[in-house]
Amino acid sequence: MPTDTFFRLPEEKRARILEGAWSEFTAVPYAEASINRIVQTSRIPRGSFYQYFEDKNDLFLTLIDEIRDQFLDLFHDTLERSGGDLFAMPLALLDAMVAPSGCITPAFSRAFALLSLNVNMDVQQLFFERAAGELCPQKLLEHIDPTLLRTQEDGFVDDVFTLLVGALACAIARTLKKPESFALERERMRGRIEIIKNGSAAVPEGGHRK
């Protein structure tokens, strides 16, 4: 986490340092990222860097937290606009992050560039660990319409959310590999959401699943 000294800097200087970090971490993988290049791009002395951040990893985690905050803002806005419909969330997030052309939207291009350069670090897991406090079942229930779920038990809410995020991640990953397939992947994700929402077992006579 940045030091108090960093947060006391003028806004323009803070933004310049973070822009320098984004420029570096979206150009090369973490292992190849250079503090020297970051301070040169940011136009600050190397010694000042360590007044603001503990090390390279500290700065990298600061960018992960920016991605987390951007995602959570969109996530909460999506739920608010859908009336708390958790099942509407993946499709709305997909449309916000991926353009009809199959390209990542400008608002999320840097985030995806950073993630794609560091797949061996399991950055996605790191992201969810740092977002866990806001995505735990208790927090989710503050933003969703509980009447749309069969039960509000923590384990059930967490499982439904995990399945929905998995459907979203699958659609994004396949679209990134083949952008022209976006429309198809979007419809396939819609189908997966319906399976999650309604189940996949046949309904026997009498209308009750076993």
> Which two three-digit tokens encode residue 20?
């320098």
Number of domains in the chain: 2
* 66/44 same-domain check: no
Which pTM was predicted?
A: 0.83
Q: Is 104 helix (H, G, I), strand (E, B) or coil?
A: strand
What is the model's pLDDT at position 128? 75
* 41/94 same-domain check: no
- Tell me the pLDDT tens digit for each residue of 53-80: 999 999 999 999 998 899 989 999 999 9
* 120/183 same-domain check: yes
In-domain check, residue 170: yes
The DSSP bridge partners found for residue 98 are 104
* 8/97 same-domain check: no
Q: Round to whole Å and give the CA distance between 60 and 161.
A: 27
Please give the chain's pLDDT, 210 residues, in tens. Answer: 899 999 999 999 999 999 999 999 999 999 999 999 999 999 999 999 999 999 999 999 999 999 889 998 999 999 999 999 999 999 999 999 999 999 999 889 998 899 888 877 777 677 778 777 878 878 888 889 989 999 989 899 999 999 999 999 899 989 988 999 999 999 999 999 999 999 888 767 666 555
